[in-house]
Structure 1
Amino acid sequence: MSLTDLTRTLVESLVEDAVTAPSMHNAQPWRFVYRTAASTLELHGDPDRALPREDPDHRDLHLGCGAALFSLRVAAAHHGRHADVHLLPDVGDPWHLADVTLSGAAGEPDHALAAFRPVLRERHTNRFPFTERPVPAELLDRLTAAAADEGCRMVVPGEWHTDTLLDLVHEAERFESADPTVREEIAAWTHDGAAGREPATEGIPAYAFGPRQHDVTSPVRDFDTTHRAPDRPSERFEKNPRLVLLGTSKDTPGEWLRTGQALQRVLLQATLDGLSSSLMSQPLEWPELRAAARDPESALGYVHMIIRLGYGPQVRATPRRPVADVLEIA
C-alpha cells in the first residue's frame, strides 16, 4: 500500500492522535517513522527526552510510548484501519520500540477501540481536589477488565494497602527534597508561566500544577516545591483517595510497553465513565520504595504505575509538540 493509498494526511492524523498520550513530566519521549514502501509506522523512544535521574532504566519512557501506541491503535480503528503491532522488533536497537503495520480493516471494524477516539483529547492529568464521592465498584470492574484486555493486571488496594501507598508517596517526597539532581530534572520540565519563558509544546505548565494541599491527604505530586508560582491557592483534597495499581508478572521493556497500552486504555475508559485521574509514579522511581508498593498477598509481580481516580473539575490540556517535530516519512 503506497502513501497514495495511506495518505500523508492520514498518517499525520494518526500520529496527532497518538501524541495525546500521557508521559512522565509531559516529556513526550517518542518519535515516529513512517516507512512508505512497507506501510509501517515505527515507534521509537527519544533518548534526548529521557529522565536519567528519575527514570534511569527508561521504564516510564516505555510506559509513555506504550500509551502513545494504544492511542495510535485507537486512531487507526477510528479510520477503519487495522494496526498490526510488533513490539521490540529490533534486538540491536533498544530505542526501536514497535512496528505498526497499517492496512485496510479486515472484517468488522474494531468498534471497542474506535469508541475511545472521542475522549483522546478529553483525558487530562488532574492534580486538583476530587470530591469524596466513591468510585462505584462496577466502574472499577470495568477498568480492571480494560487492563486485562491489554495483558496487564489492575489491583484495587484495600484500606491498609492504600495507607501504605500514601506513606510511600510522602517518603518519596522526602527523598526527592533531599536530592538536588532530582529537583533540577523536575525544574527542567516545569514552567512557571512567566512571559516569554514558557515553551508552548512540552513540559508541565503552571496552570496544570493544581493548588497546594491545605492538608496533605492526597498523593498528588507538587511540581512547585520552589514556589515559582506564588499565586497558587491552597485547597483541601479528598481524605480518602481511590488508588489503583497497574502491573505485570515481569519487569521487562516488553511488559512496560504492554502496561503503557493498558494504562492508556484504563485512563480512556475512566474518562468515558466520567472519572478524573492523575498518575503517581513517585514511589516507583526509588528502588528501595518500589517493592513496598506491591501487596505481598497479591499475585501482582511488579507495580508499574499508581493511578488516582475520582470525580474532579474539568482541567486544561497540557501542550503537545506538533506532528512535524515527531514524525518522519521515509
Structure 2
Amino acid sequence: MTAPHFDPDTVIRLVGDAVTAPSMHNAQPWKFVFHAGSGALALYGDPERAMPRTDPDHRSLHLGCAAALFNLRVSAAWTGLPVRVQLLPDDAEPWRLATVTIDEAAGTDHELASLHEAVRRRHTSRFPFSEEPVPTALLDGLWTAARLEGCRLTVPDTWHIDTVLGLVRDAEHREQIDPLARAETTAWTSRTQSGTGTRREGVPTAAFGPKASGGHASVRDFGWANPIPDRGWAVFEKRPQLALLSTEGDTRADWLRAGQAMERVLLQATADGLATSMTSHPLEWPELRWTLRDPLAAMGQVQMVFRLGYGPAGPDTPRRPVSEVLDIRE
C-alpha cells in the first residue's frame, strides 16, 4: 500500500496560507521546496533576507519561518491532512529548518483546523487600542495556545510593564543612532517599488499607524526612518496590555518552537476578536534582551513581546506570490 503524499495543487494551497505569517520588517525570509517523488515539503530560511545588524544570529528569521510553518500546519489540518513535522532534520543543511510529510498516524488536529479562519484576518495593528481590559478567560486561552507549542506566555505585572516600555524606548534610541541598524530599517520600510510596480515585501506606509501624541507608544514607529507628510497623530493607551512569550532554552530548536507558539497565540487572539501587534526591537539588542525576562520565571528566554487589546485590526501588508517562494521538484 502506497503511503499518502502531498500533491502539487495541495502544496500550493498550503504555502499560500503559510506565507501570510508575520516576520521581522515583513522580510518574508522563507523558501519552500516540494519533492514530488518523496512527497516531502521542506521549509528553508532565506539568508538573502537576513538582517546582519539587528538579527545577527538569525533568531528573528527563525521565528518568522516557524510562524509560516505553523500556518501551514493549520492549513493542512483544515484540509483534513494529518502531518508530521521534523525540525532541523539535517545538520548538513543548516538552512533547512523543517520537513513536513503526511502521516496518517498523527490524526487530524481539529483545534488547529479551527484557527484557519483567522489565518488571513490576522494583521499587525500599530494603531491605538481602547483601555478595555482583555478578559482573563481570553488570556488563559492564549496561555494555553503558547503551552501547546512548548512555550510560556506571561502577563507582566505593573513594574514589569514599566521595565518593558523603558526598554522599548531605549531600543528605539539605539536604532536611530546606529547607522547599520538605521539602514536596515530604512531599506525594509522604503516606498521603492519593484520592477512590477508594486513592492511585495517590507512594511508599507499604510501599516505605520499614527504618531504617538502625548508620550511614547509601545509599538514600533517606522516613521522616523521614512517620514510621511500628514501622517497624523493619536493618543495610545496609557497602560498597554502586554504579554511575553518565553522558552526555557535559546537554541535554534527553541526559536522554531517559539515562532510556532507566536503564531498560534496571534491566531487565537484574532479568533477571539482581539487586535495585536508585536514589539521585537528590545530583543534585537543583547544588552537589553536579558533584562526583559521575569527573574522568577523558569522559562526566562523572552522571544517576543505582544501587545493585545481592542482596536483596528491593521491593514493588509504585501506578500510575495507563492510562485516566488515555492520550488516544485521531481
- TM norm structure 2: 0.95
* Aligned residues of 1:143 and 1:270 also touching (Cα < 8 A): yes
Equivalent residues in 2 for 1:115-134, closer than 5 Å:
115-134=114-133
Q: What displacement does 1:37 show?
A: 1.6
CA distance in 1, matches of 2:159, 2:279: 18
Gaps of 5+ in 1: none
Equivalent residues in 2 for 1:206-285, closer than 5 Å:
206-285=205-284
Please say if 1:50 is aligned against 2:50. yes
Partner of 1:158: 157
Partner of 2:13: 13
Q: What displacement does 1:317 show?
A: 1.0
Q: What displacement does 1:106 show?
A: 4.6
Q: What displacement does 1:212 show?
A: 0.4
Partner of 1:86: 86
* Aligned residues of 2:280 and 2:305 also touching (Cα < 8 A): yes
CA distance in 2, matches of 1:140, 1:292: 23
Q: What displacement does 1:229 show?
A: 1.1
Partner of 2:190: 191
List 4+ stretches of structure 1 deviating above 4 A: 105-108, 193-198
Partner of 1:314: 313
Give the alignment's Cα RMSD to 1 decimal: 2.0
Q: What displacement does 1:88 show?
A: 0.2
Q: Which amino acid aligns with 1:90?
A: D
Q: What displacement does 1:298 show?
A: 1.7
Instruction: Pick closer, same or farther for the CA change 1:247–1:195 going to 2, 3 Å.
Output: closer
CA distance in 2, matches of 1:62, 1:242: 26
Q: Secondary structure at the match of 1:300?
A: coil
* Aligned residues of 1:247 and 1:300 also touching (Cα < 8 A): yes
Q: Which amino acid aligns with 1:61?
A: L
Q: What displacement does 1:172 show?
A: 0.6
Gaps of 5+ in 2: none
Q: Secondary structure at the match of 2:82?
A: strand
Q: What displacement does 1:227 show?
A: 4.7
Per-residue CA deviation, residues 47-99 of structure 1 (Å, 9 max, x unaligned), is: 00001111000000000011011000001011110110000001112111000
Instruction: Pick closer, same or farther for the CA change 1:33–1:197 going to 2, 3 Å.
Output: closer
Q: Secondary structure at the match of 2:139?
A: helix
Partner of 2:178: 179
Q: Which amino acid aligns with 2:273?
A: G
- Identical counterparts, % of pairs: 55
